[in-house]
Amino acid sequence: MSDAIERTDVLVVGSGFGGAIAAYHLAAGGAKVTVLERGPWLKNDEFEHDYKLGSSYTRIFDFVVGDGMSVLGGNCVGGGSVVYFAAMPRAPRFVFDRHGSIGRRMWPQAVSRDTLDPWYDRIEESLSVSKPDWSEASYSGGLWAAACDHAGRTANPLAAAVDNSKCVNCNFMMAGCRFEAKQSLTVNYLPAALAHGAQIRPLHEVQHLERTADGGYRVHYNIVDDEDYRLQAGSGVIEAKIVVLAAGAGATPVILQRSEAHLGTMPHAVGRYFSGNGERLNTAVLDEDKVAQILGLSRGDGELPYGANAIGKGPTVASWDKLDGSLPEYSRYSLEQLYFPPGLGTILAQVPDASGPTWFGKEKKEILKNWKSWLTIFCMTEDDNEGVFGPPPATGNSHRISQQMLGRGNLSYKPTENTWHGWNQADADVKEILEKDGLAKVMPWTNDLVGAYTVHPLASCRMGDDPGTSALDDTNELRGHSGIFVTDGSAVPGALTVNPAMTIAALAERAVPHIVAAARARGVDVTYGAPAPTGHKSGRAGVLPLLKQKRLTTV
């Protein structure tokens, strides 16, 4: 390690939604901002359309297997936004009144659907979120909608951050968009942050924080080898007056756990109350003749509709019949059509009505032959925040098993009866809809191999009003450690029953004026009030009254 210690005003850890949004606004306000990102920085033409080891497909993902829960996330500049399906619904109103496992409202009193709506508006403006019409739905989305209608249910087009005029239906959406159709943060907030002088450093993995004599923070990092993430290419230290942690719900708590020896006691909720967003996947093996006969749907020319290969287009249609606040908790969920990569999907998909093993063997081989007639339904339910992180590994957020992508983590997740109740109800609903009149055979993915699984980890450093059950206050500041803010999915108190990117982003936008105020109190010459990265300013109007109520500085 070099003896020289760098200094910056604000150090941002991670470049996903929480990190990129904070970096842009603070840099635009005049602060010196440095962003450390664990993963590589890939340009558009580097997103490869293949499954080769060492290509972008394995470089930009982080798949961590825990005890009872596995987490799939982004590992690159842009974070989860590079690999997400760009679904951007707002959380239902009832979500903010959930009690979950603690018997009282989990969310801070200051945060509700009403108070978050102006921040949602800002995200819609910044990421060009729009609700497509039915003509823009994918074939599989239309089939899901038709099946729901046939079963007496409803379905809706899903709001998304996708420019359909640029989309070429390459079907590799989950592996990074070469065409800038998907509104990843690499085409909005991050370029805007760079334009205002922010520095982004890829392959920098933060290990721990310690306090400086003047009350700031010293951030220790390792430099990750560009090809083999198990190797280090150096290390260093940066001092900052403010630290924004946005490494993701699977990494932020681990950094704080490792920092406890240097910073002092962490809030009890750091590394506890993890939620997998109640996620569950079902695979339907469709009877194409019945689909044509009953639903009147066919691609024609003898082609099967799901021969999308690879990773597929994102979800375009969802059924929200059970997003009803009058239903009991753990009985509310959404059902989305999507497509998952064969590599993972074929392993975890089970055989409907199997006489032997459900996830391998002769019968599994038979259904694999029909993979082009599979339809995946993504269920997002209400879980019980039962995930707990054990002692942190020596470095990073997991023990890396392979050169890239795969690691073994310290997360333990034992589903409660409440969580299983939600999963079972969602499974039964999918089965009822898609097996009606023989349209398909349906089975949920197995939990036998990697436990439960989530692509939307949440709540491992959650915000709240109760210091005993929340790590952050209602401004996203870490309790007992002023000047440290958490703005990624770990700040979200619990499962949302919908895709969480919109809510994570809105909470990050909401946190920024508080971070600016803390930075100003520490002598940083920074203001708040930048327009959207696109230059639009209309989204500012809705939040100005909220800022004035709290007497936060704006320009």
Q: Between 349 and 194, where is the model more confident?
A: 194
Per-residue pLDDT band at 544 (split at 50, 70, 90): low
Looking at residue 252, its pLDDT comes to 98
CA angle 359, 360, 361 (to 5 degrees): 140
Residue 492 to residue 504: CA distance in whole angstroms = 7
The count of domains in the chain is 1
Assign residue 376 a region: left if phi > 0, alpha if psi is -120 to 50, beta otherwise?
beta
- Range 179-202 average pLDDT: 96
409 sits in which H/E element: strand 406-413
> Does 286 fall in a domain?
yes
Buried b (16+ CB within 10 A) or exposed e, 347-366: ebbbbbebeeebbeeebbee
Report the candidate in 528, 493, 531 with the shortest Cα–Cα distance to residue 514.
528
The domain containing residue 53 runs over which residues? 7-554
Q: Is the confidence at residue 452, as pLDDT, over 60?
A: yes
Looking at residue 72, its pLDDT comes to 92
> Does 524 fall in a domain?
yes
| 496 touches 380 (CB < 8 A) | yes
- Range 166-174 average pLDDT: 82
Residues 6+ apart with CB under 8 A from 233: 203, 223, 224, 225, 226
Indicate the burial class of 9 (C-beta count within 10 angstroms; 0-12, 13-18, 19 or more).
buried
| 493 touches 470 (CB < 8 A) | yes
Secondary structure (DSSP) of 316-368: -EEE-TT--TTSPTTS--EEEEE---HHHHHHH---TT-SS-SSSSHHHHHHH
> How far is C-alpha 14 from the geometric centre of its chain's CA atoms?
13
Looking at residue 168, its pLDDT comes to 83
Q: Is the confidence at residue 537, as pLDDT, over 90?
A: no
Least confident of 36-50, 211-225, 305-319, 484-498: 305-319
> Does 251 fall in a domain?
yes
> Does 2 fall in a domain?
no
Helix 139-150 / helix 417-434 crossing angle, nearest 10 deg: 90
Mean of the per-residue pLDDT values of the chain: 91
Least confident of 3-12, 227-236, 353-362, 500-509: 353-362
Least confident of 129-138, 212-221, 251-260, 351-360: 351-360
pTM: 0.94
Least confident of 102-116, 351-365, 497-511: 351-365
Residue 12 to residue 20: CA distance in whole angstroms = 8
Per-residue pLDDT band at 334 (split at 50, 70, 90): very high
The token pair that represents 205 in the structure block:
């993995």
> Does 157 fall in a domain?
yes
Least confident of 250-254, 359-363, 411-415, 528-532: 359-363
The token pair that represents 11 in the structure block:
């150090």
Looking at residue 553, its pLDDT comes to 58
Strands laid side by side in the 317-319 sheet:
156-157, 317-319, 334-338, 374-380, 279-286, 440-444
Q: Is 62 helix (H, G, I), strand (E, B) or coil?
A: strand
> Does 1 fall in a domain?
no
Residues 6+ apart with CB under 8 A from 135: none
Beta-bridge mates of residue 64: 71, 407
- Range 197-201 average pLDDT: 98
pLDDT tens for 84-134 read 999 999 999 999 999 998 889 999 999 999 999 999 999 999 999 998 889
Matching residue, tokens 């969802």: 318
Looking at residue 540, its pLDDT comes to 61
Q: Helices (DSSP H) in 271-397: which residue ranges?
A: 288-290, 342-348, 362-368
> Does 52 fall in a domain?
yes
Per-residue pLDDT band at 373 (split at 50, 70, 90): confident
Residue 325 to residue 5: CA distance in whole angstroms = 52
Per-residue pLDDT band at 285 (split at 50, 70, 90): confident
110: CATH = 3.50.50.60
Residues 6+ apart with CB under 8 A from 424: none
Residue 319 to residue 314: CA distance in whole angstroms = 15
The token pair that represents 509 in the structure block:
């936008």
- Under DSSP, the state recorded for 291 is I
Per-residue pLDDT band at 345 (split at 50, 70, 90): low
Residue 388 to residue 72: CA distance in whole angstroms = 17
CA terminus-to-terminus distance, the chain: 41
Q: Is the confidence at residue 478, as pLDDT, over 60?
A: yes
Neighbouring C-beta atoms of residue 104, cutoff 10 Å: 10
Residue 555 to residue 548: CA distance in whole angstroms = 12
> Does 207 fall in a domain?
yes
Per-residue pLDDT band at 277 (split at 50, 70, 90): very high
Q: Is the confidence at residue 308, as pLDDT, over 60?
A: no
Beta-bridge mates of residue 239: 7, 218
